Amino acid sequence: MRRLIIIIAAALLVTVRPQTPPPIVLNSMIPGDVNVTATTVSIDTFQPDFDNYSWNTFIALNWPPGSDGNGDPSKKIGQNGDNDTVWEHYRDVSNIFLPGGAKPTWNGPVQIPDVCKSLNKGNLEVVTQIGKNLLTPTVVSAMSQPFNTGPLIDQNGVFTRFQIVVNKTMFDYILANSLYSKAGQKVFTPPVNFTSGSIDNNGKTLVEGAIMVKAAWKVIAPADKARFHSEDVLVYSPASANPKYPARCTLKTVGLVGMHIGHKTQSAPQWLWSTFEHVDNVPTDADVKSGKLKAKYNYYDPKCKTCPVNQIPPRPWDPTKISAFHSQIVRMNQFNLPIYANSAAARNATAQQLLRGVNPKSVWANYQLISTMWPTDPKQPFGAPAPTFLANTTLETYIQGMVPNVSSNCIECHNNATITVPVPSDFTYVLQRAQ
Amino acid sequence: MTRAIPPSIPILDSDIQDFADMSAALTGFQSSVLKPALDPVGLAREYYIFAVTQVGGTAMTTLLNAYRAIKAQTARQIADTLLETSGSSPSPQAQLAQSIVAMWYLGAWYVPGVLGGGGFAPPPLQVISSAAYTNGLVWRVMQSHPMGYSPFTFGYWSQVPAPLSSFGVNTGNGGGQ
């Protein structure tokens, strides 16, 4: 029986490991791949291993970095409540796909919109106050979700902002293949094939593969900082003709409310997709029906019984103003098997307990894994992903559900991605930003 | 989506596996395609439950027992026997086998023994689920995909389709083609 399991697992490009490491660990090392410890082959037995991988990746990416940008093993995540993170030292896509197709650098200057510059120079006190952004300020601007389905507006009437960064492995591939410019993409010889992560027989990382992180941020009040991973950023709204408003930039404190992590690995040429949210974001549909509601959510008003649920905000969408419309968002059922929610809940409890063990006030204990999408049959283009649908309420708010080709499915959607010429881009849309 | 299981119908994993193995012989596909070890969709279970709710547990058990008695035979022999291809007037049991074939290929339920006219399906044809539609075997045999849903990589239309064997079709000893 064990031999059969090994054969099947090998066929899936997933290696059954001889040892069983602790499932979730407080470690600064980013897992190079999933470490499958299950001894029987089924979705029920494999999903927990993938969810453990997701939590270990979340912990490592949010670990305090050392001077080289990698996680500093001498520190602990959340030891002071909140901390600077590894992934926030990755390269933002706005600093990779530069005007005119200019060649980017990993540690070069960041793109600061003109309207933001007055907030970021000549005023050392202000700059000092924004701490870690002294040299590399974070500019968040995007407020649109996939397929322009609409913005997400919090309970204070403020638009949620989004940010995409890539790790050095992914950046180096883009640079080495001149994929940062349209001109480079035009002469590129396909296929696009980003570096895959890998682990050894003991589950130790051998190679860190290409990683993309997509983050969702909401503006928070100073009093809320104890509950969120927060950052002082330049919130930039480019000028718009319809609706008409000028470019605007403000310095705000924002809290992390959503986080996608995509990682290409040896076992997953379709990438592994992990998605996390702040625990206060929204109630589930079951919570609403049973009346088991918290007093306050980031994107749901429990006192409002008539607010339309999961509705796209009415136009015009003007992120420079406080909106009278507040998103009333509910997490809809998206799983056809109970294991997905059950596995995530069990791993969330374990990880949150570990994080509170470092510091009872750790902001990181306020995040939860929604699930991990992985290819069950990597030889197929789609990979037959499990689960079959996966949405983050801050990042795919309006495409939750279980309708093929409409509801959110990470692999299915990213399988359609191309570069700026008709060539598949290896499951990433960021290359379409080349100029 | 997994359907609610009527409390009066016991669902045994062994029955679902036998249903998948029998379906493989009837459809000419590999059982590991209809019910893979890592099965995120769960169509075999969904179809088994759906069919049982339509025709009752007794009819399904009788058909499965007929299959179990000949399961050591080749897929083609099993299909010919259960579908009664040598006769001109299929029994109710063979009509159920026909409906199971149609369910796998078209993702829809055709009431056993009810014939349509003009080449169209008879009412009440019922599409079982969105997963059933997108996973219909007919698309695999066509080496194609359903309207509005493609599992292939961008640009596939400029390439020669992959061989039938890569779509899970049993190209060895056949089945109920």
Identify which of A159, A142, A144, A214 has the alpha carbon closest to the alpha carbon of residue A399: A144
Spatial separation of the C-alpha atoms in residues A2 and A6, rounded to whole Å: 6
Length of chain A counted residue by residue:
435
Backbone dihedral region for residue A134 (phi beyond 0: left; psi -120 to 50: alpha; all else: beta): alpha
In chain A, % of residues over pLDDT 90: 76
**Option in A337, A387, A415 nearest B153 (CB):** A415
**Rounded CA gap, B64 and B82, in Å?**
10
CA separation for the pair B139, B106 (Å, rounded): 9
Q: Where is mean pLDDT largest: A107-116, A281-290, A409-418? A: A281-290
A422–B153 C-beta distance less than 8 A? no
Q: What is the pLDDT along chain B (177 residues), one digit of tens a residue?
A: 444 455 566 789 999 999 999 999 999 999 999 999 999 999 999 999 999 999 999 999 999 999 999 999 999 999 999 999 999 899 999 999 999 999 999 999 988 988 766 666 666 678 899 999 999 999 999 999 998 888 888 888 998 998 888 888 887 655 543
pLDDT above 90 for A340? yes
What is the per-residue pLDDT for A15? Answer: 47
Q: Which residue of A has its CA nearest to B2?
A: A336
Which pLDDT band, with edges at 50, 70 and 90, does A20 fall under? low
pLDDT tens column, B116-168:
666 666 666 788 999 999 999 999 999 999 988 888 888 889 989 988 888 88
Annotated domain spans of chain B? 13-167
Question: Cβ separation of A404 and B1 shorter than 8 Å?
Answer: no
- Mutation site, A43, A46, A406, A421, interface B, largest B CB count within 10 A: A43
Instruction: Determine the 3-state secondary structure of A294 from DSSP.
Output: coil
Q: Contacts of residue B49 in chain A, CB cutoff 8 Å?
A: none
State if pTM tops 0.80. Answer: yes
pLDDT of A131 > 70? The answer is: no
Check A415 against B154: CB less than 8 A apart: yes
Q: Who contacts B61 (Cβ-Cβ below 8 Å, separation ≥6)?
A: none
State residue A122's pLDDT score. Answer: 35
What whole-number distance in Å separates Cα of residue A349 and Cα of residue A431?
37
Poorest-pLDDT segment among A7-11, A111-115, A128-132: A128-132
pLDDT of residue A11: 47
By CB atoms closer than 10 A (0-12, 13-18, 19+), residue A114 is exposed
> What's the mean pLDDT in A264-291?
97
The model's pLDDT over A82-95, given as tens digits with 9 standing for 90+, comes to 999 999 999 999 89
Q: How far from A183 is each of A97, A101, A424, CA to CA, in Å?
A: 12, 7, 16
B151 and chain A in contact, CB less than 8 A: yes
Quote the pLDDT of residue B2: 42
**Which of A25-34, A219-228, A246-255, A320-329 has the weakest average pLDDT?**
A246-255
Tokens for A216?
A: 């969702």
> For the residues of A13-50, what is the DSSP string, one character each?
T-PBPSS---SS---SSPPSS--B--SS-SHHHHHHHH
- Between A22 and A378, residue with greater pLDDT: A378
Write down the ipTM of this complex: 0.88
Instruction: Parse chain A into domains and list their residue ranges.
Output: 81-335+360-433
Beta pairing, strands A139-140 & A230-237: parallel
